[in-house]
Structure formats: C-alpha cells, structure tokens
Amino acid sequence: MKLKPFRLSVLGLSLLIPAALCAVVLFLAIYSAPAVSFNGFGFVSRITWDLGNLYGDPVTVRGVQVPPGASYGILVFVVGTLLSSFIAILIAVPLSVGAAIFLAESVPAKIRPILSLLVELVAVVPSVVFGLWGIAVLIPLMAGYIGPGLSHILGFIPFFSGGNTGSGYGLLTTSIVLALMITPIIATTLLDALLQVPKENRESAFALGATHFEVVSKAMMPMVRTTLIGGIVLALGRALGETMAVLMVSGGAINIMPQNIYSPVSTIASFIVSQLDSAEQDPTNMAVQSLAEIALVLFIITLAVNAAAKLLSSGVLNGRSKH
C-alpha cells in the first residue's frame, strides 16, 4: 500500500483528541492512586471530609503518609450532586416539554425561529452569568418569598418543612438554576423530534376527531418518547457536571447532609473548586490526591450518564431508529 503522508498527518491530528481524553483519565487515575488505596471503598459512603491536622507530623496509614486525623468522605457531595440534579430534572422536564409542544404546534411558523432561537440562547449563557443572576435576583426572592411560602403551604411534606428556610442559598435554589440551564437541551431535542413526526400520523388523529391538544399529547408524544428520554438523560449529564452556577448559589455544605430542600448543599464539581486553596496547604499532598479521586468519580458518573443518553438517542433500545 502506498504511503499517504497527507492522510497520515490529518489522522495524527485527529488522534490527538482521543489522546487528550486518555491522558485526562490516565493522569487522574495514576495521580489519585495513593488516595484510592488510603480511602478505600468508604470514600463514597463516608460523610466526614476532614483534612486533618495539617501542622502535625504526618502519620503513615495503609502505606501512605497522611496528616493526623485526616478523613476523606464524599457522600455529602455525591448526595448533593444527585439530589440537585434530580430535582432540576423534575422542574425542567414539564417546562421543556410544554415549551417544545407550544413551539412545535401552536406558534405561527413565522415567529417560531425567533422563539426557538431564544430557547437555544438559554443554553449558551455562561454558567457564571447564571450564578450572578442567581445571587442578584433569585436568592433574595427565595429567601424572602418562595422559601417561606413553600414551607407554609407544603410544610406537611417532610422534605419541604423547615422552621428556618434559610438564606436562600441551598438545594432548591441550586436546582432551579440548574433546571433553567438544562431546559433548552430537553426542549430543542424534543422540538426537533416533534417537527419530524410524519404528517400522516397527525392527520389520522385529527380525522378521528381528536382535538389539537389530544393529537399532540396522545398521537405525537408517544412517538417521540425515546428521543425525549435521551434528551433528559443528556441534560442530566450536563447538570451533574455543572460547576460555577452551583458553586455560587448552593451555599457550600461540608460534613452535613441536606435536611430539607432549603439546606445548603455542595456538589462534587463545586466542591472541587471550593477546596483548592485548603487542599494546597496539605504537606503530604493527600488532600490534592483525594480531590483527583473525586474528579475521577465525577468523570465516571457523567460518562455513564452520557453513554446512556447516546444509547437511548441512537435508537438501539427501541428497535425503530429515529435518526
């Protein structure tokens, strides 16, 4: 076979992308190896994150040097991540389904591009700007009205009751901001799918005497269900890894599990950012290595979620392929 230098050189360039990904995984894994062996499996089930006495003489535990009293557990952050993303999905799904249906069926074709452009633009606003808006607008609103109001009306549900609904920084605020950031992902996915539903299906439903809304909800929505689920899982992947907006409005809890939806929380991603300064003070480097292990855990979670989204949207699971 003739050697083709041009093809080989662009192949070399494109191989740099998988190489970067492998380097990320590999270096994180190698670097966090001492932390993995020190923390063991309890890493994800322990609540206490304590850097130990950074000025004391390091002690040797299980073959690695750590500051005395150090304990690294990330259950609080795993719970915070999963809980905030889950509530965000609960808020975002009805909103984005409603928005997509309205855009696909009820808006004149002339205005649709403008409105769908606006929905898409929600996705490109930088995370940190959402965080700023959260602090300036949403948090006073939460602390003054929404929090106390919810506690008053829905207080009979355990997770909603709280004598003190807090400062506004907390789980519910985080979830609302996350929900805003992921609605366009679900809405645009669903809008595309709805616009692709064959005319015949709509017209048959109309011919049977269904109202317009019944056509959408009973004839069209079942056809795009798999795509919708794929979009939701994709949005979940984005919400799990979201950092800055969460860091700014979550309140940053350490060593305490969320008691109700007003409690401060930390997510894995926001915790990594907030801990850099303290972790650097550790002379044994174990804190920095444990943070690398957290980053690895976050990577694995998002990888699993994104893989699930890809499987769902590729149509492998439902037999009839959509795209």
Given 299, 308, 314, 322, the residue binding other proteins (CB under 8 A): 299
* DSSP string of 52-81, one letter each residue: --TTSPPEEETTEEE-TT-EE--HHHHHHH
Residue 94 interacts with other proteins (CB under 8 A)?
yes
From the CB of 46, what's the least distance to other proteins, in Å?
21
Find the binding residues for other proteins in span 249-288 (CB under 8 A). 269, 272-273, 276, 288
Residue 82 interacts with other proteins (CB under 8 A)?
no
Residue 68 interacts with other proteins (CB under 8 A)?
no
- Tokens representing 238 are 């984005």
Residue 240 interacts with other proteins (CB under 8 A)?
yes
CB 134 within 8 A of CB 88: no
Q: Which is nearer to other proteins, 42 or 213 (by Cβ)?
A: 213
Q: Which is nearer to other proteins, 18 or 319 (by Cβ)?
A: 18
The single residue listed with the structure tokens 């909603």 is 160
State the Cα–Cα distance between residues 239 and 246, nearest whole angstrom: 9
Residue 86 interacts with other proteins (CB under 8 A)?
no
Q: For the chain, state the CA radius of gyration.
A: 24
Residue 11 interacts with other proteins (CB under 8 A)?
yes
Given 39, 96, 173, 250, the residue binding other proteins (CB under 8 A): 96
* DSSP string of 209-223, one letter each residue: T--HHHIIIIIIGGG
State the Cα–Cα distance between residues 60 and 219, nearest whole angstrom: 65
Q: Is residue 272 within a helix (H) or strand (E), and if so which, with residue range?
A: helix 268-280
State the Cα–Cα distance between residues 307 and 305, nearest whole angstrom: 5
The SS3 call for residue 49 is strand
Q: Which is nearer to other proteins, 185 or 260 (by Cβ)?
A: 185
Find the binding residues for other proteins in span 118-157 (CB under 8 A). 118-122, 124-133, 135-137
From the CB of 161, what's the least distance to other proteins, in Å?
25
Residue 310 interacts with other proteins (CB under 8 A)?
yes
Given 192, 202, 259, 315, the residue binding other proteins (CB under 8 A): 192
